[in-house]
Amino acid sequence: MKLSKKNLDQRLDHLYDVIIVGGGAGGLSAAVYLQRYRLSCLVIEKGRGRSFWMQELRNYLGLPPETPGRELLNHGTEHVLELGGDYLRGFVEDIQDEGETFAVKVKVGKTDSVYPVFRSKYVIAASGIIDQLPTLPDMQNVYDYAGYNLHVCMICDGYEMADKKCGLFVHTESAINTAFVLNWFTPYITVFTQGLCTVGDEMRQKLKEFGFPLVETPIKRFLGQHHEMTGVELENGAIVELETGLVAMGSLYHNGYLKGLDLQWKGENLVTDSMCRTSHPRIFAVGDLKEGINQVSIAVADGTLAATTIWREIRRASTPRRWEENLTQPTIEPIGAVS
Amino acid sequence: MKLSKKNLDQRLDHLYDVIIVGGGAGGLSAAVYLQRYRLSCLVIEKGRGRSFWMQELRNYLGLPPETPGRELLNHGTEHVLELGGDYLRGFVEDIQDEGETFAVKVKVGKTDSVYPVFRSKYVIAASGIIDQLPTLPDMQNVYDYAGYNLHVCMICDGYEMADKKCGLFVHTESAINTAFVLNWFTPYITVFTQGLCTVGDEMRQKLKEFGFPLVETPIKRFLGQHHEMTGVELENGAIVELETGLVAMGSLYHNGYLKGLDLQWKGENLVTDSMCRTSHPRIFAVGDLKEGINQVSIAVADGTLAATTIWREIRRASTPRRWEENLTQPTIEPIGAVS
């Protein structure tokens, strides 16, 4: 059921099989599987994750290409609730490993916040990442285009950028290398650093060899209308016309609540085995938090793998169920043998 | 485009980037990604695969739980065609490794068959498996219930069987062990062997301890109506009432066309790395053909992994695209530097 400040007291004494941090594609897929394995789970979602921002989910099999990410999330949340899963809007602040159980502390409510602690046998870290966007004086101007034709994922949207005049927005020199992959889709690339990094001679030379202009002047604003970006106006008043854009400014990882636990990291990603288990036997990581390709399809499969592995362990540790009424009879004759 | 006997000649001289054998969830997902990576692919589908038979796809995130498998396949096929992929109904008989390319021989048409040979750089084996069903005198009686409440996949449908009187249909002694996993969902299990295997004393004793009756008499027919199986009638006239059933009679693997190639197998499954590459560097395997959990979500992610890996290789081997018109200018001044 949906938990809120009003009813969460009902679950404070409950030991969940699994608490899932993050109600994106990976977390919801795990919850669907776990509930169907007849385990109890709680999904804790802070809101506005990466797939929430996707305007069109063009490469997830079975959904119409124009499906917004939030529609996937809404359907998935409904699905979990129908299966009897619990769902809470809140921000996980901390997880304590208590040996057999985890204590998960959640901040619920932006005002008059409460801080309930829920307990579970397993944790699935599905809290993902969020793409960093260019910082402009008017951030609404950025949000007007981000996720529309100002893209954040080349794998998802390279196809949409094909052969278009494309701005590549970076804030480190190494991110400029994205241009030399993006050119598979379009060679009409202008690189914008906003002067946030130093660009060495070698990189300048390479850009020149590829014909990709480098713009280091800060951006004043994106131009366009109806969520269609048509260029940028620089602080010096110059205008660069564009038809599309790719932001390659890295991601913020929602993993702060895991930092106190004994886990193996590779950068900000959790290292996992082929079933999405981290170096802690009762903590799994799915989707963008773990190493690999950041795609909805991968996150959904990760949820399947983590849930199935947890189910197998819990099942094997449980008392097997017998057909009790048959056991009260002294001898069970195979039905087929009676003829 | 859709290929058929009438127009397939147009593609006999084309070198595809990838030929995908099998238009199920894994193959279609790979095709969507490949076309979006601007590669050319041909999907060859023999029809009536495993997901075609699924009446309700209850655990794939984003689709309503009552979505039939064939709807997923139809949507996916349309999606691939919209993206410019080729699609052919046919049966792959043989694949020859020609060094740089593969020659894929297809039987098209059940009558007046033709046998075109298509060529590609890579092959994705996505032809999957099909579940074996009990063989009864009237097979239509089996098809009336298989995929409805006579299930073939415990992970998919254990939840639907929960606490119901369940028939477990097997044809080997080892498959009887499925009962001791199925009892997580329901303990009201009757095992039917139809006398197709010998059951040793140890197994008989274990079934007795669990209270699971063993029926070795052959089945005459399933009882029920409107696709709802309500029991079985045995050849000796006895009737066993049931509310649901699970068939655990193994699978047939659609992998005959791969047997002439130098590939590493584990039983009938292809061994793959974490990106779904087989031991042959240009052959990938996705979905049920490879080792792992047989689930739509996994197959869809496999398609993503295989397609992305192939794209990366083809991209790296290609001549990088430059912005030609900028190269004709003697010096490119960064636009932003002009102020």
**pLDDT tens string A157-211:** 999 999 999 999 999 999 999 999 999 999 999 999 999 999 999 999 999 999 9
The three-class DSSP label of residue A7 is: coil
For A293, name the nearest residue in chain B, comparing CA atoms only: B305
Q: pLDDT at position A329, please?
A: 67
Judged by a CB distance cut-off of 8 A, whether residue A309 touches chain B is no
Q: ∠ at Cα A168 (B331, A46), nearest 5°?
A: 165
Give me the DSSP letters along A85-137: -EEEE-EEEEEEE-SSSEEEEEEB-SSS-B--EEEEEEEEE---EEE-----S
As a whole number of Å, the CA-based R_g of chain B is 24
User: What's the average model confidence in pLDDT over B236-250?
Assistant: 97
What are the tokens at B334?
């960064």
For A37, name the nearest residue in chain B, comparing CA atoms only: B159
Cα gap A49→A274, rounded to integer Å: 25
Q: Which DSSP state fits B335?
A: G
Q: Is the pLDDT of residue B24 over 90?
A: yes
Tokens 């005002």 found at: A111
Q: Residue A115 in contact with residue A107, Cβ under 8 Å?
A: yes
Close Cβ partners of B135 (under 8 Å, ≥ 6 residues apart): none
pLDDT confidence bin for B331, thresholds 50/70/90: low
CA dihedral A233, B321, A57, A37 (to 10 degrees): -130
- Give the one of A59, A83, A338 whose C-beta lies nearest to B33's C-beta: A59
Q: ∠ at Cα A157 (B316, B62), nearest 5°?
A: 120
What are the tokens at B119?
């060529």
What are the tokens at B318?
């290609």
- Give the one of A76, A192, A238 whose C-beta lies nearest to B62's C-beta: A76
Q: pLDDT at position A53, please?
A: 79
Residue B276: its chain A contacts at CB < 8 A? none
Q: Which of B308, B268, B251, B250 is nearest to B284 (CA)?
A: B308
Q: Residue B126 in contact with residue B258, Cβ under 8 Å?
A: no
Q: Is the pLDDT of residue A2 over 70?
A: yes
- Give the one of A297, A308, A324 whose C-beta lies nearest to B301's C-beta: A297
pLDDT confidence bin for A338, thresholds 50/70/90: very low
ipTM for the assembly: 0.95
Judged by a CB distance cut-off of 8 A, whether residue A98 touches chain B is no
